A and B are shown apart, each in its own frame.
Chain A
């Protein structure tokens, strides 16, 4: 038998809408692929907002399940955008009602094979710390743009603000991250 070993390639296969359409016709077998496409970004986003890994996992799970309960008409919109919208609403509700708990933050990992993995990991760790030092609105914008792969228009709709506001937040966030990372390089 021929070998076909390769790493997971979640963008191969049916589109998000196809997968949801299949689900509506009783076939949930492709749902894992939808999860693989979006779960890492969603979990990172939720963990960053809530600073609680276990709670973030619960909300990501709930977001996927609520996606399945959506009005079929709404599923014609970007599934990715809809997932982030559901998750953010859940996170905002949860943040309002939860008590103070121990806080944790997620850390980025290298996106590819690097020549100097230790050095890249160290820089990404600094970036992860800097991300958590951003104001909430700027951190949300950076995460949705960089790892949620949402457009500025989609982020504006999600956050309920004008698109120029999103672009400004993104620019301010990059500048602040640059300053924070510069300070980190200089050391105390």
Chain B
């Protein structure tokens, strides 16, 4: 046979589709991982760098650091509640923190307790400890998932030198598994759930009760009323959702679980050859690809779909969704964010290497596509389209876009928090290698790092945050004009 005939024969074949469970297994692992973060350089190295590099180069370096740094992953609802407990009193929390690299700083829900993870480089390797209200806990080699529940109770996952992970609750080691993940307090902070692996079986443990053994379990999610959990599980290559103890229909893959705000309906993405959305016991049409479904107030539901090489957002009151494509479609759509009344939603779109925010309303006549930037962050909506706030990237700079207009410019803008009942926002900002908090038109002094916050007080007159400056860790409060 001639070489050209062999090439033709090679082209008539393709590698077979890999087994479905490989896809499910990998995606489950990816979903459980956190995006990589850049290692924080040792303070001495940073000091040496600062002494030897000219100020102008420092400015450039800070920009590069921002470009390379990873945004924090999206927080789950139980975790997001952690920041609300910050007390509005200014005080020095700890001295000499430069050597211990504080991370994952968090307040208890009532604001009476605080905790963070510190790391020490020892001759035997890195060791980590949790500091709770200034008291150092036991040393471990890896600590993850530090969270406060109600009444100052706390939990985290820790690894010793021996194989396996411990669930540590209020400082006391409890359950030990070969692998542990997805530890989450219920929204009311009273119950704890996690996923543990032991002797090749995966278990979901909810408030001390262990599930039946699964081949795999992922996407553990508490209902908003803390009454039950939902998760994705695999047995004998069949993927299904478990709501409480009830198993759903089997698919090739299930993911992107989400509860409606009232907790009565569960939606998720499923794959059986092609992709579809499952809402309660009903299914959407099949599509090439579907994004994460999101419920809005008043029973609204929206998710992105790809069909015929076009991508757009479908939305409406399930099951009567507006599925027809708009005149303008996109290469990619992000996850939608609803306004508080559910009548407006916004999402990120990408076309020809540029990104914009699109705003839609319930009485849609067309899409309102915002200005195009190199990149845009997730939109923040309050009550109406005019309340739209997001971060836009132009070159190396970040701009806060408020009501469609570019406002402040920094090398870093994140942790956007809207003033209660108002239009102003507070956020963490970066400038020339330093960090500060901006709330409305008020700027804080610059710090080495802002570790936690900003959060608003209930009447919107102050913001609080935790920051590091000169080796000291401070709880700071800023009056907002």
Instruction: Please judge, given known A-B contacts A43-B15, A108-B16, whether A24 and B35 are in contact too, CB under 8 Å.
Output: yes
Residues of B within 8 A of A9 (CB): 288, 306, 309
Residues of B within 8 A of A185 (CB): 1
A89 at the B interface (CB under 8 A) = no
B306 and A12 contacting across the interface, CB-CB below 8 Å: yes
Instruction: Please judge, given known A-B contacts A4-B288, A13-B311, A29-B291, whether A39 and B35 are in contact too, CB under 8 Å.
Output: no
Q: How far, in Å, is A149 (CB) from chain B's closest CB?
A: 11
B122 at the A interface (CB under 8 A) = no
A1 at the B interface (CB under 8 A) = yes
A127 and B18 contacting across the interface, CB-CB below 8 Å: no
A147 to B440, CA, bound (A): 55
Q: How many residues of A contact B (CB 8 A)?
A: 65
Residues of A within 8 A of B309 (CB): 9, 12
Residues of A within 8 A of B16 (CB): 40, 44, 106-109
B18 and A8 contacting across the interface, CB-CB below 8 Å: no
A26 and B5 contacting across the interface, CB-CB below 8 Å: no
Q: Which chain A residue shows the least CB distance to B37?
A: A24
Partner of B13, one of A26, A60, A108: A108
A147 to B33, CA, bound (A): 29
A111 and B35 contacting across the interface, CB-CB below 8 Å: no
Instruction: Please judge, given known A-B contacts A26-B35, A174-B3, A178-B2, whether A32 and B18 are in contact too, CB under 8 Å.
Output: no
- What's the interface size class on B, roughly? 35 or more
B25 at the A interface (CB under 8 A) = yes
B36 and A69 contacting across the interface, CB-CB below 8 Å: yes
Residues of A within 8 A of B151 (CB): none
A25 to B14, CA, bound (A): 34
A79 at the B interface (CB under 8 A) = no
B332 and A57 contacting across the interface, CB-CB below 8 Å: no
Residues of A within 8 A of B30 (CB): 23, 28, 31, 64-65, 68
A57 to B15, CA, bound (A): 14
A178 to B9, CA, bound (A): 10
A85 at the B interface (CB under 8 A) = no
Which of B18, B307, B311 has the most chain A CB atoms closer than 10 A to its own CB? B18
A114 to B319, CA, bound (A): 39
B288 and A6 contacting across the interface, CB-CB below 8 Å: yes
Residues of B within 8 A of A29 (CB): 255-256, 291-292, 335
Instruction: Please judge, given known A-B contacts A6-B307, A9-B309, whether A32 and B14 are in contact too, CB under 8 Å.
Output: no
A87 at the B interface (CB under 8 A) = no
B19 at the A interface (CB under 8 A) = yes
A128 to B286, CA, bound (A): 34
A89 to B325, CA, bound (A): 44
B407 at the A interface (CB under 8 A) = no
A34 to B151, CA, bound (A): 44
- Interface positions, chain B 1-60, Cβ under 8 Å from A, are 1-3, 5-7, 9-19, 22-23, 25-27, 29-31, 33, 35-36
List the 10 shortest-distance A-B pairs measured between CB atoms, nearest first.
Answer: A108-B13, A44-B15, A26-B73, A174-B3, A4-B307, A111-B14, A178-B1, A40-B15, A124-B13, A26-B74
**A24-B71, A61-B29 provided; 8 other pairs, C-beta below 8 A?**
A3-B285, A23-B30, A24-B70, A29-B255, A32-B253, A110-B13, A142-B10, A178-B3
| Interface of B toward A, CB cutoff 8 Å | 1-3, 5-7, 9-19, 22-23, 25-27, 29-31, 33, 35-36, 68, 70-74, 253, 255-256, 271, 273-274, 284-289, 291-292, 305-309, 311, 319, 321, 323-324, 331-332, 334-335, 350
| Interface of A toward B, CB cutoff 8 Å | 1-9, 12-14, 18, 23-33, 35-36, 39-41, 43-44, 57, 60-61, 64-65, 68-69, 72-73, 106-112, 114, 120, 123-124, 127-128, 142, 146-147, 171, 174-175, 177-179, 181-182, 185
Q: What are 5 A-B contacts defined by CB distance under 8 Å?
A: A1-B321, A2-B285, A28-B27, A29-B291, A61-B25
